[in-house]
Amino acid sequence: LTVGFTPRLRRALRYFAAILAAAAVTAASFYLFSGHASVEVTFLDVSQGESIFIKTSEGKTILVDGGSSNIKDVGRRVLLPFFRNQGVRRLDYILITHFDLDHYSGLSEVIRNLKVDLILRGPMEPVDKEPAFEEFISEIKSQKIPTRTVKAGDVIRLDSETRLDILSPDEKLVESGELSVNNGSVVAKLVHGGFSLLLGADIEHEMEYLLVRQRLFNLKSTVIKVPHHGSDSSSTTEFIRAVDPAAAVISCGSFPRAPANLDEVVERYHDRDIEVLRTDLGGAIHLKL
């Protein structure tokens, strides 16, 4: 399976001398290669959920979320096999964008089986503390893993060339109690040289509007992880224009689990000549830049 570039994607990634082809990690994957030591990003196929593994050129690792709403034991069935395949026994960081099950349901299994140095989490607490949440918190304590709460303006230095900028949520907004769990999820921007990846978590149009209008951060990014699994509650035209990516990645399940109006959301990106890659169509997506 080969995915061709749009002219805009070719132009935007010419700096990286990129080619695009398919291969296998744990499923069909899209590879975006450059010819030098680089950062690797894998969007795992967890069906209706999200899990993103990042490895820098200096070997630092971070897992952003790890859950699924419809794959039971996603940690044992998807995440751990992926790490075994990649030879990963240790994670420098786990970032939990928010405590919806489809973003953390497999993480207890991960921290039981891999050494984790630090867990990063947003300031929002779950609305309903389900058994899976209590199990996860208990496992963190059992493994004695330090935890740090991140907020807008924080910078996580992954290595000498790669950083993770935290764009949202704002601490005062969280304290106001006005944010939903989704709009309080952690939005982060991975920056490596001339490449950037905006991780949109599950924010919806209200938070997109704030990020665009406040102009506190540079939203423009090479690639975007589309907010909220491609749901119509997110990806406003104004937000897409501000990010102006060359490519967009959607992590979602196949029909009937895919978000309603997904095709309409995809069309918004296509209208701006943005390449769209989807885990429900091609499996795990691997970017090497």
Q: Is the dihedral of CA 42, 26, 92, 118 positive or negative?
A: positive
pLDDT confidence bin for 209, thresholds 50/70/90:
very high
Is pTM, for the whole model, over 0.75? yes
- The whole-number pLDDT of residue 215 equals 87
Higher pLDDT, 16 or 9: 9
Q: Is the pLDDT score of 1 beyond 50?
A: no
Name 13's Cβ contacts closer than 8 Å, sequence gap at least 6: 5, 32, 222, 246, 289
Mean pLDDT of all residues in 82-87: 97
Q: How far apart are CA 289 and CA 282, in angstroms?
A: 19
pLDDT digit string (tens) for 17-60?
Answer: 333 333 334 444 555 554 455 899 999 999 999 999 999 999 99
Q: Read off φ and ψ for residue 86, nearest 5 degrees.
A: -90, -5
- The whole-number pLDDT of residue 258 equals 79
pLDDT digit string (tens) for 172-189?
Answer: 999 999 999 999 999 999
pLDDT digit string (tens) for 221-273?
Answer: 999 999 999 999 999 999 999 999 999 999 999 877 778 899 999 999 999 99
With pLDDT > 70 as the criterion, what percentage of the chain qualifies?
87
Give the CA count within 13 Å in the CB-facing half-sphere of 242.
Answer: 18
Q: Write down the CATH number for the domain with range 7-288.
A: 3.60.15.10
Q: Which of 103, 94, 92 is nearest to 56 (CA)?
A: 92
Computed over every residue of the chain, the mean pLDDT equals 89
- The whole-number pLDDT of residue 24 equals 36
Q: Is the pLDDT score of 288 beyond 60?
A: yes
pLDDT digit string (tens) for 133-175?
Answer: 999 999 999 999 999 999 999 999 999 999 999 999 999 999 9
- The whole-number pLDDT of residue 22 equals 33
Q: Structural domain boundaries of the chain?
A: 7-288
> Bridge-partner residues for 54, per DSSP?
41, 62
181-197 exposure pattern, b = at least 16 Cβ within 10 A, e = fewer:
bbbbbbbbbbbbeebbb
